[in-house]
A = this chain, B = another copy of it.
Amino acid sequence: MVNYPNGRKNTYHTAAASAAGRGMELEAEINATNTRYLEEDRAVIHKKPTPVTIVHVDYPSRNAAKITEAYFKLPSTTDYNGIYRGKYIDFEAKECTSKTSFPLKSIHAHQISHLDSVLKHGAIAFVIVRFTHLGITYYVPADRMIRFVRTAERSSIPVAWFEANGFAIPYNYVRPVDYLKIVDRLYFEDKE
């Protein structure tokens, strides 16, 4: 957490700055978009916390707990879920630095099963893939991504496949990754 000299706390820029350092601008932008959706009372969608296995906690004082040993663990689900227009929404988001293709190893097998499973239960499920060097962010319906992964004879998805099967997500200042625009087009077909 950055402490600004003037004492101002700016959650978005702080998150964006710290995320950018780890190559996670997409995450910061999706979080900012979700916060905006929440403020507009349009959808309630949150990123799940990063799963960690906590091994040791110190209690230096009665009310403070300091975790001194913990490890990252593989997520068993996707990172984002919530509700929009009465529907359960579920998605994963990935950044990709290649200009030509998206490596399949970026998405874990259990995340694919999770997407498949929520789809069968009636979810609106998708994957957001940003090609950072191409400056384009795609919305890919989960069923198309699952089909590719399960029938693929190659270990990456070419950009041309995204052009044909994905939808470019519009950017605007207040909603940097305005993915509900695509959800509206695909599932509700009317307003934005």
Contacts and interface: CB of A to CB of B under 8 A. Distances in A.
Q: How many copies does the complex hold?
A: 2
B50 A86 contact: no
Given A84-B121, A88-B88, A48 B50 contact: no
A153 interface: no
A122 interface: yes
B67 A69 contact: yes
A34 to B, nearest CB: 11
A107 B123 CA distance: 28
A121 B44 contact: yes
Contacts of A96: none
B46 A50 contact: no
Contact of A122 (B51, B76, B83): B83
Interface string A24-63: 0000000000000010010110101111111000000000
Kindly state the interface size class of chain A when it binds its partner.
35 or more
A114 B41 CA distance: 11
Interface string A67-109: 1111110011100011111111010000000000000000000
Contacts of A75: 49
B44 A117 contact: yes
B77 A46 contact: yes
A43 B88 CA distance: 12
A24 to B, nearest CB: 13
Interface of A: 1, 38, 41, 43-44, 46, 48-54, 65-72, 75-77, 81-88, 90, 114, 117-118, 120-123
